Amino acid sequence: MRGITILGATGSIGLNTLNVLEQHADRYHIVALTANQQVERLAQLCEKYQPTYAVMAKAEAAEELSSRIKRSCPNTEVLGGEAGLVTVAAHESVSDVMAAIVGAAGLAPTLAAANAGKRVLLANKEALVMSGQLFMDAIRQNQAELLPIDSEHNAIFQCLPTDYHQGLSAVGVKRILLTGSGGPFRSVDIESLSRVTPDEACAHPNWDMGRKISVDSATMMNKGLEFIEACWLFNAQPDEIEIVVHPQSIIHSMVEYIDGSVLAQLGQPDMRTPIAHALAWPQRMSSGVQPLDLFAVGRLDFERPDFARFPCLRLAAEACRRGGTAATIMNAANEIAVEHFLNQDIRFTDIPKVIENVLSRNSIGSADRLEHVMQADQEARLLARAEVEMCRQTNKRQERA
């Protein structure tokens, strides 16, 4: 049996992973489950799955969890903090690590899994957005396996030849067509975006996701992060990737070859499909997903992305081309801006403003060492908080006028 650690077990990816694993209990053993601070939800999962380890990212939450499951999970050891996350990601009894912690908090344990030579099932975009070269070097140097979980990257992986690491042009690939739904605001009046509420931004038409990722989808920053991630995952140049808005979310991405062939991966908008694919690779196993009914789908639409409506896409592409710590800075500013939007401190349209201002004020440095990456991340967060406060004050003056 393969031992698995699920980083971010209480999130949508973590819960979907557990759902798939339940269907194949004879093949996998759950070594560790982790969460940020949702003690009650992780306690329930521990009672159901009885892992060897349970980890809370917040130390105080770990103490609460330990007390909560002391009797119901006598064989589960509770760890806390980043050190605990790193421990279960690199543990000797673990073969597979589902990296599903949202944001920069997932970088250290995901990198630890790579350094320990694990099979890394990557659902955490930030590991590559923040430290792409470092992460890919760790995968290669430690003979780790890297399998993408994002539905788009998993689709691309399925459509590419196995030797794509040589470079796309070397294996006959013309370009990658990275699809995105366009989120809930694809066709609304642009002028109305400044009045968008957090609940409206989180109401994705196709996917059931956490609130931060849902906001990223609404701004299409999620697609911008995936653009950067795809460059690292598939050894692609920015000009070899084109974003295609596909509202139905049925074609998860495509690969165009130099002979005119276009291979596409289709399926229901259900994350259990890429999760099951990565867990079983190179074989296949059932995921529990309903079969795709093309007659019910009826039509497939495609549009070019609107960069005026979605400025975050432009900012992500620019950061990718600038290299160094540009993507790290962009990601940090976005996390702060989204956090404050969800707290209703700033407007939806303030999110790209905060990101752009932080990028313009922060010098781009080298991303060749983890300490450089983390320093850029922290400096960008400080600047982003200052930009958020400026947006708040500006909005208050406008409301009084």
pLDDT value of residue 401: 66
pLDDT value of residue 282: 96
DSSP letters spanning 304-368: ---TTT-HHHHHHHHHHHH-TTHHHHHHHHHHHHHHHHHTTSS-TTHHHHHHHHHHHHS-----S
Q: Where in the chain is the domain with CATH 3.40.50.720?
A: 2-148
* CA gap 162, 185 in Å, rounded: 37
Six token digits for residue 108? 């250290």
| 263 SS3 class | strand
Cα–Cα separations (whole angstroms), residue 316 to 26, 154, 211, 222, 320: 42, 20, 20, 9, 6
Tell me: domain 323-400, CATH 1.10.1660.10, correct? no
Please state which CATH number belongs to domain 2-148: 3.40.50.720
Cα–Cα separations (whole angstroms), residue 133 to 147, 229, 397: 16, 11, 44
pLDDT value of residue 400: 76
Q: Are 222 and 338 in contact (CB under 8 A)?
A: no
Query: Along the 401 residues of the chain, how does pLDDT read in single tens digits?
Result: 899 999 999 999 999 999 999 999 999 999 999 999 899 999 999 999 999 999 999 888 999 999 999 999 999 999 999 999 999 999 999 999 999 998 778 899 999 999 999 999 999 888 899 889 999 999 999 999 999 999 999 999 999 999 999 999 999 999 999 999 998 899 899 999 999 999 999 987 776 677 888 999 999 999 999 999 999 999 999 999 999 999 999 999 999 999 999 999 999 999 999 999 999 999 999 999 999 999 999 999 999 999 999 999 999 999 999 999 999 999 999 999 999 999 999 999 999 999 999 999 988 998 888 899 999 999 999 999 999 999 989 888 887 76
pLDDT value of residue 102: 82
pLDDT value of residue 309: 94
pLDDT value of residue 213: 87
Q: Where in the chain is the domain with CATH 1.10.1740.10?
A: 323-400
